[in-house]
Structure 1
Amino acid sequence: MKFSQISPNAIATAVVAAIAALSAGQAMAKSDDASTALPASLPTKPGGGMTMKRISTRSYIFPGESVKGKAKLDFWTGFSLFRDPWVIAPSSTKDRDGLGPLFNARSCVACHQGGSRGKMSQHGEHLPTSLLIRLGPIADRYATEKYTDGHNYGGQIQPRAIKFNHGRLEKSPVGEAWLNLSYKTIDGEYADGTPYQLQKPSYQLTRLAYGEISEGIAPSPRFSPNVFGAGLLDAISEQDLLAQEDADDTNGDGISPRYNRVADHVNGSKGVGRFGLKAKHPSLKQQVVAAFRDDIGITNNVFPQESCEPAQLECFAASKLGGHTSVEIPDKLVNLVMAFSQHLGVPPTRNPQSLRALKGRQLFNQLGCASCHTPSYTTASNYPDNNLANQTIWPYTNLALHDMGEGLADGAMEGQATGREWRTPPLWGIGLQQAVLGEARYLHDGRARSIEEAVLWHGGEARPAQQKFKQLSAQERNALLTFLHSI
């Protein structure tokens, strides 16, 4: 056909079609509500000035870009204490000895590889590292009886023990237990017929060295969480957190965020829990020094007593042989570890202008995910560290407790947190876990092998959002997951 034979109407139609084709990729950037357009980009610096200078697929261990001078030197010095293994005392390296007598790992990085999560435990019977087992009272017993850590295993199973080659002890301490881990496959499908599989874990403590676990005590598996960005979470004002509390669901949205009121051992008071998978600790410092004592066996001025229980006589005997006249990590070294922990930056956003990711953020809001995963805050202007104060951040968490349903319940209480409640984890940076660690695991016990599986495990208060996710088309699911991998 010659051009002169094409009618003006046909030309107009072709032009409109061409324009439509050129802008097809932009169609996802329009809201379902035609009056609302998506922004041109996701926030590129989710940690404000504490965002890492560049994206890394090797490690999360970089300071925030605003950290300079002595603060940066202290960061890397603190990192050496985070990275290097602790040894049995007495030794020639007094600043690094005091391991045990009972412990989970020899270093922080053993559980937080690259500043992220650790390697997931294997199936079968083994000595776990990144997957630890806490112990807590079941709800029914707690309602009628005051719980203490006076049973044979304290608040946490420590599977390893130091060994001596000298004759100063008749018997060396013995690790408390092994873990037998197995999974059951659960099949399901989306509304469009696409199948999926979940794996439900089963945990059994074996080779118990100090008798049976006391009646009324439940095991609670915990997979080591990401630690990057923790300084910024510490800098969110308590007032901003509590403004989100709605324990009785007075607004009728089906979401009941509440905060764990816990002992503040640093200040000798009560505080609002924000760290730990059940929000056990009110501050980053308490989280750090509790991990030193409970996970590595390193006493400090906040937790000066060894984690030996009355039945563990060899543990007490071994603890007296180290040669330390006071605690095993003094405040000057704790402060360096804190400098590292506070200034560990947040990865920049990946592909912030991706139209698919922008559509995914819209779906994130429409499904109700933001009701618990609060997108943004401005940190407290009076926070003592200027690098962390007054920063606009995008962590996607309210740090509150939520009932996550029976499927994720462990039955163990921790403070005021029930056996069905978990703290909302931050979502920033999680899309890099596969690249950094070589594997990606999600949820409090690492059962989910992908972000998609983690969403599908949501129950309780989050079940309506999970059900909406299952109703999405494959294209919409892909958009939501692209967003979560990007932030």
Structure 2
Amino acid sequence: MAGHPRPMAGLIAALGLAGLALPGHAGGKVDLTRPHLEVVARTAAESGRIAAVTAPAADFSAPEPFEANAGGAATVRARDNTDAFSQPSANMPFERELDFKVGNGLFRKLWVSSPSSTLVSDGLGPLFNARGCQNCHLKDGRGHPPESPDDDAVSMFLRISVPATAAAGTTEIEAFLLSLGDETPRTAPDPVYGGQLQDFAIQGHDAEYRLDIAYEEIEVPLSGGETASLRKPRYRAADLGYGPLGPDAMLSPRVAPQMIGLGLLEAIDAQDILAREDPADADGDGVSGRAQIVWSFEHARPMLGRFGLKAGSPTIREQSASAFAGDIGISSPVFGAGWGDCTEFQTTCRTAPDGSSGTPENTEIGAEGLDLVTFYARNLAVPERRDVGDTQVLRGKEIFYGVGCPACHTPKYVTSRLADQPEQSFQLIWPYTDLLLHDMGPGLADNRPEGRADGREWRTPPLWGIGLTETVSGHSYFLHDGRARSLLEAVLWHGGEARAQRDAVVDMPPEDRAALIRYLESL
């Protein structure tokens, strides 16, 4: 794909299908096996053991076996400092630790603009949101929105797209997604601003915008005379560098998520995820999750989306390459355009010098570097649970199950056997996600379709490590845009398919509500 303009992350399924066959695609069916992993098929005996060990909890008087080891054998001890999310898989063979450390170096690397004497470090931009991966994922943790108008230490930006009818070149993906039975309105990158808005630019170029946020406080009455306050955000793209946005432009705020456990999520068998789909709510529980299907540029085929806030990327490697291109303006063997997210309208940006002379592939980061970053991201370990046997935590777990939270936040899986990834192979893990798309109601809606996801749907975020957010990131901001300032606020923003659970939390006795939050803090 060298030379192809990088599409917006999460819209990987929206470009590049012209004239391509769809392997395994017939009659609305898509082959969702994972060509990038060496998966060893499960035996019938293994499938039986997996079904038994992943059965829902029934006894809340004591922790379940191995419940403290959220990442299976890859779990590391919980640290009480900012390094809690930056440890390698505990079961990593010694000879692979060097790859992890070199990948960490590339993840922390600050890129510079071209031309430069450092041929392996130049190519930044011309437009960018950060100079390195670590600038957004500080200490491999969660980003946050601006604390004040002059706060530059943030890791948040706005995605942008327009209806597909307003842009050319998307008819192939429309046909592909419609063949899956979808009727979600399709979108395409903005013809002027691309797939996301960049708030920085190299010397001689104009940044695309400045992010402006204002909040409205909304008081929510709770049982027992308690109250909570939610902040409802309003986002504006200010100081636009390339003219006003079109009337059809759709914006969606994004905060960088935590990085732990990605390799284990990638190792979950696709069938274990698809088995939880219930798009017509056949079981009547009000939950109707569905899988995100995206087009993989690297493998030239449809794949199950797993990564990103709307599950828009199929693999860690492709997600990493997408972030390099859109966030930093760095080309790779997956997205080879040296200009990153610059559009044809931004002619000066398109013709600026790039750093493609630094690698054998003539891209700004080569295959070896991208593989090392992928290995690092794949092996950021999940910390062990804390206080799993605490009486209040166990009561909170019972409430979590009792109000139906596991309908989306699936507690546990056993990963696939992988021939060449011992760290992720055949592990009992506890991520608390089904990796499916769910309608979260109008309160959280960005009203911007992305792939199969409509404007109200989001991927269920994993909950493992969520109780260490403040330890690692220095704040307790949650959800896709950081609007929630606590776990309770995050719960109270739930709507749509999770409205019944949200209302149950509002109405339950205060001591039960406190126990539920205590349980979440132990994850």
* Contact 1:178–1:208, Cα closer than 8 Å, also in 2: yes
Q: Which AA in structure 1 matches 2:61?
A: L
Superposed, 1:393-472 pairs within 5 Å as 393-472=429-508
Distance in structure 2 (CA, Å) of the matches to 1:477 and 1:212? 46
Distance in structure 2 (CA, Å) of the matches to 1:376 and 1:328? 39
Q: Determine if the alignment matches structure 1 residue 154 to structure 2 residue 194.
A: yes
Distance in structure 2 (CA, Å) of the matches to 1:400 and 1:383? 26
Q: Displacement, 1:120?
A: 2.8
Q: Which AA in structure 2 matches 1:52?
A: V
Q: Determine if the alignment matches structure 1 residue 196 to structure 2 residue 228.
A: yes
Superposed, 1:97-116 pairs within 5 Å as 97-116=122-141
Structure 1 residues 444 and 321: CA distance shift in structure 2, 3 A: closer
Corresponding position of 1:28: none
Q: How many residues align?
A: 445
Gaps of 5+ in 2: 1-57, 167-173, 175-182
Corresponding position of 2:158: 133
Corresponding position of 2:62: 39
* Contact 1:119–1:130, Cα closer than 8 Å, also in 2: yes
Q: Determine if the alignment matches structure 1 residue 309 to structure 2 residue 355.
A: no
Structure 1 residues 407 and 145: CA distance shift in structure 2, 3 A: closer
Q: Displacement, 1:402?
A: 0.4
SS at 2:120 equivalent? helix
Query: Residue by residue, what CA displacement relative to the aligned partner does 1:126-180 show, whole Å, maximum 9, x if unpaired?
Result: 76841110013469979798643251011100111111xxxxxxxx221111111
2:281 counterpart (249, 252, 277): 249
Q: Which AA in structure 2 matches 1:113?
A: L
1:277 counterpart (305, 309, 329): 309
Distance in structure 2 (CA, Å) of the matches to 1:385 and 1:69? 13
Superposed, 1:257-406 pairs within 5 Å as 257-305=289-337, 306=339, 307-320=341-354, 323=357, 326-382=362-418, 384-406=420-442
Distance in structure 1 (CA, Å) of the matches to 2:415 and 2:63? 25
Structure 1 residues 71 and 221: CA distance shift in structure 2, 3 A: same
Corresponding position of 2:116: 91
Structure 1 residues 140 and 395: CA distance shift in structure 2, 3 A: farther
1:63 counterpart (76, 88, 100): 88
For normalisation by structure 2, the TM-score amounts to: 0.81
Corresponding position of 2:177: none
Structure 1 residues 321 and 257: CA distance shift in structure 2, 3 A: closer
Q: Determine if the alignment matches structure 1 residue 50 to structure 2 residue 97.
A: no
Structure 1 residues 101 and 139: CA distance shift in structure 2, 3 A: closer
- Which stretch of the first structure deviates more once superposed, 147-156 or 411-420? 147-156
SS at 1:202 equivalent? strand
Distance in structure 1 (CA, Å) of the matches to 2:410 and 2:356? 46
Q: Which AA in structure 1 matches 2:155?
A: S
SS at 1:95 equivalent? coil
Structure 1 residues 409 and 139: CA distance shift in structure 2, 3 A: farther
Distance in structure 2 (CA, Å) of the matches to 1:248 and 1:338? 36
Structure 1 residues 323 and 40: CA distance shift in structure 2, 3 A: closer
Distance in structure 1 (CA, Å) of the matches to 2:467 and 2:77? 17
Q: Percent identity over the alignment?
A: 40
- Which stretch of the first structure deviates more once superposed, 359-368 or 94-103? 94-103
For normalisation by structure 1, the TM-score amounts to: 0.87
Distance in structure 2 (CA, Å) of the matches to 1:40 and 1:348? 13
Q: Which AA in structure 2 matches 1:242?
A: L
Distance in structure 1 (CA, Å) of the matches to 2:136 and 2:514? 31
Q: Displacement, 1:37?
A: 5.0
Query: Residue by residue, what CA displacement relative to the aligned partner does 1:386-442 show, whole Å, maximum 9, x if unpaired?
Result: 210101000000011100000001111111111101110000001011122211110
Structure 1 residues 360 and 246: CA distance shift in structure 2, 3 A: same
Q: Determine if the alignment matches structure 1 residue 205 to structure 2 residue 215.
A: no
Distance in structure 2 (CA, Å) of the matches to 1:262 and 1:129? 29
Q: Determine if the alignment matches structure 1 residue 72 to structure 2 residue 97.
A: yes
Q: Which AA in structure 2 matches 1:96?
A: S
- Which stretch of the first structure deviates more once superposed, 74-83 or 375-384? 375-384
Q: Which AA in structure 1 matches 2:135?
A: A
SS at 1:109 equivalent? helix
Structure 1 residues 145 and 390: CA distance shift in structure 2, 3 A: closer
Q: Displacement, 1:335?
A: 1.1
Corresponding position of 2:14: none
Q: Displacement, 1:86?
A: 1.1
Cα RMSD after superposing both structures: 2.1
Q: Displacement, 1:95?
A: 2.2
SS at 2:230 equivalent? strand
Distance in structure 1 (CA, Å) of the matches to 2:189 and 2:374? 27
Q: Which AA in structure 1 matches 2:432?
A: Y
Query: Residue by residue, what CA displacement relative to the aligned partner does 1:191-219 show, whole Å, maximum 9, x if unpaired?
Result: 22201111001101011111222232210
* Contact 2:357–2:363, Cα closer than 8 Å, also in 1: no
Distance in structure 1 (CA, Å) of the matches to 2:230 and 2:185? 37
- Which stretch of the first structure deviates more once superposed, 399-408 or 376-385? 376-385
* Contact 1:236–1:378, Cα closer than 8 Å, also in 2: yes
Q: Which AA in structure 2 matches 1:161?
A: A
- Which stretch of the first structure deviates more once superposed, 274-283 or 93-102? 93-102
- Which stretch of the first structure deviates more once superposed, 335-344 or 84-93? 84-93
Greater gyration radius = 1
- Which stretch of the first structure deviates more once superposed, 145-154 or 111-120? 145-154
* Contact 1:126–1:178, Cα closer than 8 Å, also in 2: no
